[in-house]
Amino acid sequence: MTRLRLFAALGPFLAWLYCIAFLAARTDGPIFEDRRYWLPSFMVCYAFSILPMLFTAWVDRRLSDRWWRSIACGLAGFGIAFVLYYGLMHEGPSAAENAKIFQQDWFYVALVWALPAVVCSWVMGLMNPRESVDA
């Protein structure tokens, strides 16, 4: 149960931090001109991140005796984010315009769930060293 709590609490928070850092790097002005948008942005990021983080927790549990489990969790998070971003950007009336945006940002957006998954898996390995195997 500790694994699920860790991935559910830390994962969306790290995804939100990464999104804020990405937005800060991509925009010239302030991210939010009004302070009241910080909490809703966190809640939206949490709502979208909870299921992918729980899936990566499942991957982490299944691979708990492998040394490469953090890498696998990162790849799972990367894959989920890539597929969802691809699906969202290639739908609707402005699909052609969004496809250009997708080509520019796909790697950075896919890192939104890859990096938190790697960090959560690594922290879980530190908390339970008996699960790690030096094979």
pLDDT tens digits, one per residue of 82-112: 998 888 777 777 777 888 888 888 888 889 9
What pLDDT is recorded for position 50? 93
Compute the mean pLDDT over every residue in the chain, rounded to the nearest whole number.
Answer: 87
Structural domains counted in the chain: 1
- Which residues constitute the domain of residue 72? 2-131
Is 31 a residue whose pLDDT tops 80? no
The pLDDT of residue 135 = 42
| Percent over 90 (pLDDT), the chain | 44
Six token digits for residue 110:
């896919």
Of the pLDDT bands very low, low, confident and very high (cuts 50, 70, 90), residue 132 is low
**pTM (two decimals):** 0.83
In this prediction, residue 131 has a pLDDT band, given cuts at 50, 70 and 90, of low
Predicted pLDDT of residue 1: 65
Q: Quick check: 55 and 84 in contact, CB under 8 A?
A: no
Q: What is the Cα gyration radius of the chain? A: 16
Helix boundaries (H) for 27-135 = 38-62, 69-89, 95-127
Token representation of residue 4: 């699920």
Question: How confident is the model at residue 100, as a pLDDT?
Answer: 82
- 125: pLDDT strictly greater than 50: yes
Position 123 confidence tier, pLDDT thresholds 50, 70, 90: very high
Q: Is residue 38 within 8 Å of 32, Cβ to Cβ?
A: yes
C-alpha angle 69-75-79 in degrees, rounded to nearest 5:
145
Nearest to 64 by CA among 11, 7, 9, 111: 7
